[in-house]
Amino acid sequence: MTLLNLLQTILLISGALMFLVGSIGLVRFPDTYTRIHALTKADNVGLGLIVIGLIPASFSVLITLKILLIWLLVMLASALSGHLVAWEARAQQVPLKSSGDASLKGEGSLKGESLKRESVKGESGDESTD
Amino acid sequence: MNMILSPIPWLLVIPLAGATLTMLLPYHWRSAASVVGIFTQLMASVILWYQVTHYGPQFYAMADWQAPLGISLRADGLATLFVLMSSLVASACAFYAHHYLSLHKRANFWPLLWFLWASLNGIWLAADTFNLYVGLELLTFAAVGLVAFASDERSLEASIRYLYAALLGSMAYLLGVALLYGAQGTLAMDSLAETWQWGPTTQVAVTLILGGLLLKTAVFPLHTWLPPAHGGALTPVSALLSALVIKASFYILLRFWIEFQIYQFLPSLSQLLGALGAGAILWGGWMALRQTHLKMVVAYSTVAQIGYMTLMFPLLVAENSEASMLAYQGGILMLLAHAFAKAGMFLAAGNLIFCTGKPDLVSLAGMSRYRPLNIFAFGLAGVSLMGLPPSGGFNAKWMLLQSSFMSGQWWWIVVLLLGSLLSAAYIFRVFAYTYQETDALDTYKRPRLSLELIALSLSGISILLGFASLWPLEMISLPGPVMEALP
Amino acid sequence: MDTNLIFTLCGVGLCGLGFFGFIYHRHLLRRLIAFNLIGNGTFLVMVGFAQRGQGVTDHVIQALVLTGIVVAVAATALGLVLIRRWFQLKGSTQLPEDDAS
Amino acid sequence: MNLLIDLTLLIGILAIAFTCIVSRSLFRSVVFFILLGLMLAIGWIRLGAPDIALAEAAIGAGITGVLLLDTLGHLKKTGNLENDEPAPSRKRLVLAIVSSFTLVGLLLWAVFNQPTPAINIHLLVTEAMPESGVSHPITAVLLNFRSYDTLLEVGVLVLAVLVGLALQTDQQAQDSLPGLPNPLLHACLTLLIPAMLITSMYLLWAGSDRPGGAFQAGAMLAAAFILLHISGIKLSSQVSHRMMQAGLLLGFGVFLAVATSSLIGGRPLLAYPEGGAGMLILLIELALTLSIGLILLSLFTIANSPPHQTYQGGDHGH
């Protein structure tokens, strides 16, 4: 077990653990917004660790670049989809479940917001939220 | 034979090119291009008939790769007969549709028809199991498209029911082919026949393939999708479906049954198929008697007539080669006569519905007086379906009767006679409605003469088959893989 | 228990589940998903069973499965077009219960 | 170790398929179906079929998933996604269970009694590879040895679009799906779309000697088009209907033209000229990629465009 292998296994295992944390977050969190948060954060870090763990396995520059490109694209995709899901959830007034204490209730409720998606017309998506 | 002269590839290229062209051309050009295509198709089929009768079965390796690796097509007597049959019926229905449909409907009809024609020719000439699967899928999509493009509620429901049944059928067929490939290692039918080894895998594969194809041919217990589809579609489409589309899966069933000699190794299966056929004859006839809509009567008559063809399977008895030959020829002649008679009957029924404007039987009153030509066409087709003497249907039934008599299976004789009585009943019932006198004047719409003549010519051919049935029988007894496999 | 056999069994399981769903459900979209399951199951059986027999990765059957996947997506798309039209016309996602026809 | 991976995949795939069939909510069933597609992609890697893994992920999970989700969205928007339709009758349940168990029993009986196949086509493939014009066996089988199957299969795709167009009675039906006016999405498009186009062309080019090819590249191209379509940039508004129709038929037309040209040249149908196989296959694949991209896009747009309200009934009755 050379030092490199040890490092690799640690990185791979911790990456897998981060995925596990992400899935636990998905199950445990009360509402959509926190779930998105858990998924995008934990899974990306997990993937990063696995990618770094895989790099020493193949010493050719090309494959390393390809793996890093995969990581970059996955991060871009999950950030974009996380945002879209949250944006859509807010547009459909998915309630923000407050975790018990009342202080969060006031500014969290969405009734005040009137971000009607229908009112946002136009081809080029000019954002008209106040 | 020089490759360029062989008509086999042209029989596939012309319809596929026709489909692409008719999708691209502006509406009013599509009919002109299609008429040219129809005549070239007819010419190619006649050339193929000429070559097969004079030079024997034709084999054609696609992309110049021989059978086990590449795909090869073959045109033996049986395939050529079916190519000729589909050319005649499809061109008749195409000319009928040309006058019958509006410009917009006709624009969509042409490409769908060409894809249907290409898949039919592909299936008749195919000799590779996976190629048959892709041909079946192309056929199903074209047929579902033809049913659905009438775009009203009844035809939409019928097309969904048809699509689901057909997809399940072709997936069962594909599963069977997968098992066959795993067991034998090859897809080409001739190498499959050579290396055929009976075992659990091949038995399960055969059951799956037969099950899938029975579902697609709408044999008795699996027929529920057929009546709404054939009854609900536009007239030329129901004629095409009843005359040609269900025959394709029956043709593949027949090829598998004879070339892999399933009748020798699974006699119990052949008796089961006979029972299904008998059930189809009785149930189809009984339901046809109880229908109130004219096209539904004709659709259920298709269910019954398929039963007659499936009766061929139990009569292919291994030890009695005389009876099997008679059964094989009788079944094919029955299929041929049914194709022309049913197409003629559906077109005549469409004309009658156009005249009265209402699809039900009661409103047919007075039709015999005012539209005798359509009634005559309907009657001629009825004569062939009932199996009255001069018609092709009679010769076929006579051969089936002789074969069942010779092979000592008397119960099929009872089924045949009962079935003939039932079909006579539901056809004469339709006539009874048309004889009722109405005091009104001739206030009915009159379809174009060409529509009536096309229906009459198709029914006439089914009668002519009675006189000239020697010619098709010669065709199918030309040497070929099927003839070698028959006892 | 080599890889090919395991995935052949997986294909058999998918076919069984898909066939169950195809018969049990009446909702058209569910039946379409069940049909896709049968399709995927058949393709797994095709490759797994063939490669188990030949003992080597068989490229012919893999090319055929590629063709099958494309045909399956065309079938699904056609089914969805018909279901959408049926839904817009009748507002129901099921076919009317057919009596003994 | 391999056994462990395969068994977990087996159990995972069957568990997901089971949930997909029996789940109460339709949305969960569709999501699990997409998940199943991705798991199957891993399964295909294990089976030594990277081409099918690519196709399964791109077409099986991707395009089919998008089509299903879009239909789901349409059902949800018109408010009857969870119509509490009565559970199917017990008789139907018993029938379904009995028939599925007989099917599985038959298949297991067949699988465990497999005879050794007499012919091994695989050897024929390796022998014939030199003259096939490409070095990747799957592309050779698809576009040379069994190119007739592929020609018919592209015909099936064109036919599916044709039926969709025939049902879409109103030619200029405006799409019911308003574009998502999301600024971040538009910003990311400028990054994602070029990457997808380049990958699609790479997949097409790699098809001659590595896993790849026209179908996977076409599916990638369709994904790019659909992404543009969803975010509001409608291809159908840029390109005239006639051009769109020509694009749909380009692949099939080129394939057919090359096939018939060999006929006119005295060779059998679909037989490539001496030495010209590689170049012609690439030409066909290029046309196929563009056509498959447009076909899968229009299968998506046809499904969600509302038909003409007034149906023209059958013309002269039925």
pLDDT tens digits, residue range B408-444?
888 999 999 999 999 999 999 999 988 888 777 777 8
Neighbours of chain A (3+ CB pairs under 8 A): D
| Cβ–Cβ below 8 Å for B159 and C54 | no
Distance from C-alpha of C76 to C-alpha of B171, rounded to nearest angstrom = 13
| Residue B347 pLDDT level (bands cut at 50, 70, 90) | very high
Hey, which residues 17-76 in chain D have their CB within 8 Å of chain B? Answer: none
In a domain? residue A53: yes
In chain A, the number of structural domains is: 1
Residue with tokens 């008998």: B278
Report the gap between the CA of D121 and the closest CA in chain C (Å).
Answer: 8
Report the gap between the CA of B468 and the closest CA in chain C (Å).
Answer: 38
pLDDT (tens place) for every residue of chain D, 318 residues total: 889 999 999 999 999 999 999 988 888 999 999 999 999 999 999 999 999 999 999 988 889 999 999 888 888 776 666 555 667 788 889 999 999 999 999 999 999 988 888 788 878 888 888 888 888 999 999 999 999 999 999 999 999 999 998 887 654 444 455 667 778 888 888 888 999 999 999 999 988 888 888 999 999 999 999 988 888 777 777 777 788 888 999 999 999 999 999 888 888 888 888 888 888 999 999 999 999 999 999 988 887 665 544 344 334 443
Nearest chain B Cα to C15, which residue?
Answer: B175
pLDDT (0 to 100) of residue B458: 93
Task: State whether the Cα torsion B431-B433-B435-B441 is positive or negative.
Answer: negative
In a domain? residue A125: no
| Residue A120 pLDDT level (bands cut at 50, 70, 90) | very low
| Cβ–Cβ below 8 Å for D179 and A123 | yes
Nearest chain C Cα to D21, which residue?
Answer: C21
User: Which residue in the set C4, C14, C67 is minimally distant from D149, CB to CB?
Assistant: C67
Residue B56 φ/ψ region, left for φ over 0, alpha for ψ in the -120 to 50 degree band, beta for the rest: left
Average pLDDT, chain C: 88
Query: Same domain, yes or no, for D207 and D277?
Result: yes
Distance from C-alpha of B186 to C-alpha of D125, rounded to nearest angstrom = 13
Cβ contacts of B164 on chain C, cutoff 8 Å: 22, 31, 35, 79
Query: Same domain, yes or no, for D153 and D273?
Result: yes
Task: State whether the Cα torsion B256-B257-B258-B263 is positive or negative.
Answer: positive
User: Which residue in the set D21, D88, D303 is minimally distant from C17, CB to CB?
Assistant: D21
Hey, which residues 410-439 in chain B have their CB within 8 Å of chain D? Answer: none
Tokens describing residue A82: 């996380």
pLDDT (0 to 100) of residue B1: 47
pLDDT (0 to 100) of residue D178: 63
pLDDT (0 to 100) of residue A128: 35
CATH number of C3-90: 1.10.287.3510
Comparing CA positions, the residue from C39, C21, C38 lying closest to residue C30 is C21
CB of D53 within 8 Å of a chain C CB? The answer is no
Q: Are B134 and D149 in contact (CB under 8 A)?
A: yes
The H or E element spanning position B72 is strand B72-75
Greater model confidence, B261 or D44: D44
In chain D, the number of structural domains is: 2
Nearest chain C Cα to D103, which residue?
Answer: C16
In a domain? residue B140: no
pLDDT (0 to 100) of residue A4: 86
Task: State whether the Cα torsion D277-D283-D287-D288 is positive or negative.
Answer: positive
User: Which residue in the set B195, B200, B208 is minimally distant from D118, CB to CB?
Assistant: B195
In a domain? residue D16: yes
> What is the domain range of residue A48?
3-96
Report the gap between the CA of C101 and the closest CA in chain D (Å).
Answer: 17
Report the gap between the CA of B257 and the closest CA in chain D (Å).
Answer: 20
Helices B294-310 and B392-406, axial angle in degrees (round to 10)? 40
Judge residue B375's burial from the number of C-beta atoms within 10 Å of its C-beta, 0-12 exposed, 13-18 middle, 19 or more buried.
buried
Length reported for chain B:
487
| Cβ–Cβ below 8 Å for B23 and D245 | yes
Tokens describing residue B362: 């009661």
Neighbours of chain C (3+ CB pairs under 8 A): B, D
Overall average pLDDT of the B279-301 stretch: 93
| Cβ–Cβ below 8 Å for D93 and C24 | yes
| Cβ–Cβ below 8 Å for D14 and C10 | yes
pLDDT (0 to 100) of residue B108: 87
| Cβ–Cβ below 8 Å for B168 and C35 | yes
Distance from C-alpha of B241 to C-alpha of B97, rounded to nearest angstrom = 14
The pLDDT of residue A112 is above 70:
no
| Cβ–Cβ below 8 Å for D43 and C13 | no
Distance from C-alpha of D194 to C-alpha of D202, rounded to nearest angstrom = 12
| Residue A98 pLDDT level (bands cut at 50, 70, 90) | low
Q: Are D13 and C10 in contact (CB under 8 A)?
A: yes
User: Mind spelling out the 3-state secondary structure of A10-57?
Assistant: HHHHHHHHHHHHHHHHHHHCCCHHHHHHHHHHHHHHHHHHHHHHHHHH
| Cβ–Cβ below 8 Å for C49 and B178 | yes
The pLDDT of residue C1 is above 80:
no
Overall average pLDDT of the A4-21 stretch: 91
Overall average pLDDT of the B333-341 stretch: 93
Overall average pLDDT of the B354-366 stretch: 87
Q: How many CB atoms lie within 10 A of CB B288?
A: 25
The pLDDT of residue A127 is above 70:
no
Distance from C-alpha of C47 to C-alpha of C63, rounded to nearest angstrom = 10
CA B347 to chain centre: 15
| Cβ–Cβ below 8 Å for D183 and A127 | yes
| Residue C46 pLDDT level (bands cut at 50, 70, 90) | very high
Best mean pLDDT range from B142-151, B425-434, C12-21: C12-21
Overall average pLDDT of the C16-29 stretch: 93
Judge residue D241's burial from the number of C-beta atoms within 10 Å of its C-beta, 0-12 exposed, 13-18 middle, 19 or more buried.
exposed
Work out how many CB contacts closer than 8 A connect B with C: 84
| Cβ–Cβ below 8 Å for D114 and C49 | yes
In a domain? residue D87: no
Residue B363, classed as helix, strand or coil, is: helix
CA A26 to chain centre: 11
> What is the domain range of residue B353?
266-487
In chain B, the number of structural domains is: 1
CB of B5 within 8 Å of a chain D CB? The answer is no
Query: Same domain, yes or no, for D151 and D61?
Result: no
Cβ contacts of B293 on chain D, cutoff 8 Å: none
| Residue C8 pLDDT level (bands cut at 50, 70, 90) | very high
Kindly report which listed range (A41-55, B282-296, C11-25, D296-310) carries the lowest average pLDDT score: D296-310
In a domain? residue D101: no
The H or E element spanning position B60 is strand B58-61
> What is the domain range of residue D169?
133-308
The pLDDT of residue B63 is above 50:
yes
CB of B4 within 8 Å of a chain D CB? The answer is yes
Identify from A72, A84, A126 which residue to disrupt to test chain D contact, counting D C-beta atoms within 10 A and taking the largest count. Answer: A84
Kindly report which listed range (B10-14, B45-49, D190-194, D240-244) carries the lowest average pLDDT score: D240-244
Report the gap between the CA of A84 and the closest CA in chain D (Å).
Answer: 8
Residues of chain D that touch chain A, judged by Cβ-Cβ distance less than 8 Å = 179-186, 188, 191-192, 195, 232
Best mean pLDDT range from A33-47, A58-72, B106-120, D107-121: B106-120
In a domain? residue D99: no
Nearest chain B Cα to C80, which residue?
Answer: B160
- The C-alpha torsion from B147 through B148 and B149 to B154, rounded to 10°, is 90
In a domain? residue B474: yes
Backbone angles phi, psi at B416, to 5 degrees: -60, -45
Distance from C-alpha of B434 to C-alpha of B131, rounded to nearest angstrom = 47
Cβ contacts of B208 on chain D, cutoff 8 Å: 106
Overall average pLDDT of the A72-83 stretch: 89
Query: Same domain, yes or no, for D268 and D168?
Result: yes
| Residue A100 pLDDT level (bands cut at 50, 70, 90) | low
Which residues lie below 8 Å from residue A99, measured CB to CB, with a gap of 6+? A30
Kindly report which listed range (A117-126, B151-160, B182-191, C17-26) carries the lowest average pLDDT score: A117-126
In a domain? residue D206: yes
pLDDT (0 to 100) of residue D83: 56
Cβ contacts of D77 on chain C, cutoff 8 Å: none
- The C-alpha torsion from B137 through B141 and B147 to B151, rounded to 10°, is 160
CA A118 → CA A89, A114, A124, B341, D178, distances in Å? 14, 11, 14, 59, 9
pLDDT (0 to 100) of residue A35: 87
Kindly report which listed range (B128-142, B245-259, D269-283) carries the lowest average pLDDT score: D269-283
Query: Same domain, yes or no, for D145 and D18?
Result: no
